[in-house]
A = this chain, B = another copy of it.
Amino acid sequence: MVASPTTITLACLRDQAAAAARLEAIAQRTSGEQIIQAAARVDAILERVRREGDAALIALTEEFDGVRPEPLRIPQQELAAAWEQCPAHLRRALELAHERILAFHRHQRPSDLAVTGPHGELLGRRWRPVERAGLYVPGGRASYPSTVLMNAVPAKVAGVGRLVMVTPPGPTGQPNPTVLAAAHLAGIEEIYRVGGAQAIGALAYGTASIPRVDVITGPGNLYVTLAKKAVYGQVAIDSLAGPSEVLVIADHTARPEQVAADLLAQAEHDPLAAAILLTTSEALARSVPAAIEAQLSGHPRAAITRAALENWGLIVVCEDLDQAAALSDCFAPEHLELLVEEPEALAERIQHAGAIFLGPYTPEAVGDYLAGPNHTLPTSGTARFAGALSVETFLRHTSLIRFNRQALHATAEAVVALAESEGLHSHAESVRQRLD
């Protein structure tokens, strides 16, 4: 006799207020106490990197990764070798992804402004790339070649002169070979075998081996994220990434196997990943748990995936799509899939989401790898104020002002009035000194 599979325990709510409260709790699933404790350790690591430089990097890598990374830098021929040794089908896939990501990001380059004012004065804004960017690529379970492409391509499109990648060595002393192959494809030449808060410190302060950069991007664990927050202000950072999440809005047209696969594709990342289904279809809400259970059978990451779904999974049955859109906006999901009859109309009603995947042929996975837009997206409700990593992350702008004699004379009275109202005597004087 074969035991029937247990069905996954996936919370299902019909009450909208209860659903909103649960979504709020899911959004805040990273514990505050854990963060405070980690922050103190991160500060100590950063201080040590600032004081001791490379010696700290080598000692901390030996302590945390069990490998003495000497030399810190990966010889460039190893990148070319990793590419050569990468299986042909995977090289083709990486090339297609690289080409598509490049094509989309090229559209993001902002234009310079040059405006002529009423007196012939020139007012402008000029965009330029940062000189140096640091790219963090995690190790272990989250060491992904797609992370390399999604971070390196916008930097290259921006025109960053020097791109510095850091990634922890694996147990063999070498990073993930497909990560190295992707770096080669993306044109990264400078990679250091160091990860964690110590790698962020090296990029922010510089050491004898690793140059100080202007902006640091890339995902990481809690220590990496806290280190990025600590150095924010001395360098720019892309964002403070929390655990990943998907929210699916589905109506009666959605197929349970597809919804199940999409929820599982989020849950398999991390025990803290969140996967949420809002649906107007009672039938779908009833059939998705069994479809999940069926796909969990033999799943290579079944334990992680099940933990994520049982802790941070949720199904909500909504009266209509307006209710679903309102709940989704409370959560402000990183990834939002619209498996509904008219996804464009629903997308218009959505205020807050990192990326929206429209219709039945757009599983999140196409966006994760190769659709074109960036897969680095705002988590934990930060889509209220942030968007995807972009070419602009690696640019900064400078204002340009050139007044002429006429413009100065025409505005002098107002500048003097404002300066005097603020008690700034020399501000007024700097204008008076230039009048005839």
Chain A interface residues toward B at CB < 8 A:
89-90, 92-94, 96-97, 100, 103-104, 107-108, 110, 113, 115, 117, 121-125, 128, 130-131, 141, 144-146, 178, 214-215, 229, 232-233, 235-236, 240, 255, 257-258, 261-262, 264-265, 267-269, 295, 299-301, 305, 343-344, 347, 350-351, 353-374, 377-378, 382-388, 390, 392, 396-405, 407-408, 411, 413-415, 417-419, 421-434
Contacts and interface: CB of A to CB of B under 8 A. Distances in A.
Contacts of A353: 398
Contact of A107 (B113, B131, B265, B413): B113
A426 B372 contact: no
Contact of A401 (B115, B366, B424): B366
A357 to B, nearest CB: 5
A385 to B, nearest CB: 4
How many copies of this chain does the complex contain? 2
A131 B330 CA distance: 12
Contacts of A368: 419, 427
Contacts of A430: 258, 261-262, 264-265, 363-365
B361 A236 contact: no
Residue of A229, A267, A350, A365 with highest tally of chain B CB at under 10 A: A365
Given A89-B413, A235-B385, A361-B408, 20 more contacts: A97-B418, A103-B117, A123-B373, A215-B385, A267-B426, A268-B425, A299-B425, A301-B424, A347-B400, A356-B398, A356-B400, A357-B401, A361-B434, A363-B431, A366-B407, A366-B408, A369-B414, A371-B403, A383-B396, A388-B397
A387 B399 contact: yes
Contacts of A351: 128, 131
Contacts of A387: 125, 396-399
Nearest to A357: B401
A246 B405 CA distance: 22
A351 to B, nearest CB: 7
Given A145-B421, A434-B360, A415 B384 contact: no
Contacts of A425: 268, 299-301
Contact of A427 (B265, B344, B424): B265
Contacts of A397: 387-388, 390
Given A359-B403, A401-B357, A90 B418 contact: yes
Residue of A257, A403, A432 with highest tally of chain B CB at under 10 A: A403
Contacts of A364: 430
B365 A428 contact: yes
Nearest to A371: B401
A412 B358 CA distance: 17
B369 A426 contact: no
Contacts of A423: 141, 300-301
Given A268-B426, A388-B399, A414 B96 contact: yes
A246 to B, nearest CB: 10
Nearest to A368: B427
Contacts of A131: 351, 384
Contacts of A401: 355-358, 362, 366-367, 371-373
B399 A373 contact: yes
B108 A125 contact: yes
28 contacts: A89-B413, A92-B414, A93-B414, A93-B421, A103-B115, A104-B115, A107-B115, A123-B372, A123-B373, A128-B351, A144-B422, A145-B418, A229-B232, A236-B386, A261-B430, A261-B432, A262-B430, A269-B424, A295-B429, A301-B425, A355-B399, A356-B399, A361-B404, A362-B402, A366-B408, A366-B411, A383-B398, A388-B399
